[in-house]
Structure 1
């Protein structure tokens, strides 16, 4: 009679082989959960349940992991951009580009650490080049010359990928109303213009605080200004 198999053997699931893709997806998950600073080869190996040395068969070092993060994030961006509902660029290039940029932004809002990586590692990345080629193609379909499309990329900067460096960090700590009033009072003599701006913002939104910036609103406001300005230039050159 054939010996009865052990119950553990029957329920044991086969181990998923380690691969570069699996390593990078684990790195994204770790950064999403614990922040970019948590991403070390040791922590990544623990996340995958392997020895750290096993990782080096798939990623040469930590720099290679960060290069891979760019690939993963931009891959998600391209997928989101391709799926978004938007007008054709021939009919409405502003609407077409705006929808794609906001789709890219949704990806980056899921991975709030991603801008730090993208800012330092996009040069020469095939995924980055492919995305920017897509943007230029859309502008060309919308009637842009190569020269104006070139300038549009400079004006858009990182905003083309859905993020920007903000002068005021909207995700910072919120300041209580009493503290906001005291801060404005201290600032009034030395920095009258900033104090006036902040006082006006609080007056318009009396329940608000010095953390009054709506990150999404400010992003879309600036994006629309850029797109409207580019359209005036495009129309004038036609």
Structure 2
């Protein structure tokens, strides 16, 4: 009689797999080697299992990408749970924004997925941890007295500001890290001075991180615009 096909084992190098272990390993891989390095085969090698064993926990590459977004939001939940909630809705939105900033800077390679997977995955099919984050923000806006329609407008603005700020914060600026001269370090000699005089002058300031203070200052201005300073 023919020998039955061997089922891919999910007992990895460090014991039996779980969804949490698979996602944690995927996050470590991407943090270290970038998104382009992530594949089922490469992740299986990291965990000491065949790639087929991973399909029990992620249906494919897209599911892994969504899992990375889920992992970031789970880490965000943990950070927020570690401290007491702020006294009012505005301060709590600021606390959420700061925690998001910290998580994103800890995992810069994953940050693009927070936008690109939002484009690819309908709201109702996003990871539950992501939806809980959305729910938390919308609930705070309704606590502020905004109606459903107004809450949706401010939710979009809040999300766009936080993700946009973090993306700009992580933008590549240094052209030659070995160059001690600041102008050459930024590669300003590649930028035509007659066409780009203001950008050349501003580039050193743009290269400095704005930090969480800049994030919250911009958020306060945005909320003032939408709520009249309430």
TM-score with structure 2 length normalisation?
Answer: 0.75
1:16 aligns with 2:15: yes
Aligned alpha-carbon RMSD (Å) = 3.2
Return the offset for 1:44.
Answer: 0.7
Q: What 5-or-longer segments of structure 2 have no aligned partner? A: 1-12
* Contact 1:27–1:39 (CA under 8 A) maintained in structure 2: yes
Whole-angstrom distance in 1 between the partners of 2:114 and 2:226: 29
2:196: which partner in 1?
191
Pairing partner for 2:156 from 145, 154, 157? 154
Relative to 1, partners in 2 of residues 1:133 and 1:46: Cα closer, same or farther, differing over 3 Å? Answer: same
Equivalence map 1:224-235=2 (5 Å): 224-235=217-228
The CA deviation at 1:197 is: 3.5
Residue of structure 1 aligned with 2:145, choices 143, 146, 154: 143
Kindly state the Cα deviation for residue 95 of structure 1 after the two structures are TM-superposed.
1.9
Q: Is the 8 A contact 2:104 2:166 kept in 1?
A: no
Match of 2:35 in 1: 36
- Give 3-state SS (helix, strand or coil) of 1:84's partner: coil
**Secondary structure at the counterpart of residue 112 of structure 2:** helix
Judged with a 3 Å threshold, the aligned counterparts in structure 2 of structure 1 residues 171 and 27 are, in CA distance, closer, same or farther, namely farther
Counterpart pick for 1:214 among 203, 208, 215: 208
Shift of 1:85: 3.7
Change (3 A) 1:182 1:75: closer
Residue 171 and residue 156 in structure 1: after superposition, are their counterparts in 2 closer, same or farther (change >3 A)?
A: farther
Contact 2:73 2:130 in 1 (8 A): yes
The more displaced of 105-114 and 116-125 is 116-125
Count, aligned residues? 209
Residues 1-238 of structure 1: matches in 2 within 5 Å?
16-89=15-88, 93-122=89-118, 123=121, 124=123, 125=126, 126-160=128-162, 164-166=166-168, 169=171, 172-173=174-175, 176-177=181-182, 179=184, 183=188, 187-198=192-203, 210=204, 212-217=206-211, 220-235=213-228
Q: Per-residue deviation at 1:34?
A: 1.7
Q: For structure 1, list consecutive stretches of 5 or more residues without a partner in the other structure.
A: 1-13, 199-209
Cα distance in 2 between the residues matched to 1:153 and 1:37: 31
The aligned counterpart of 1:11 is none
Q: Which runs of 4+ in 1 moved over 6 A?
A: none
TM (norm. structure 1) is 0.72
Q: Distance in 2 between matches of 1:120 and 1:39?
A: 16
User: What's the offset of the Cα at 1:32?
Assistant: 1.5
Deviation at 1:47, TM superposition (A): 0.6
Relative to 1, partners in 2 of residues 1:139 and 1:171: Cα closer, same or farther, differing over 3 Å? farther
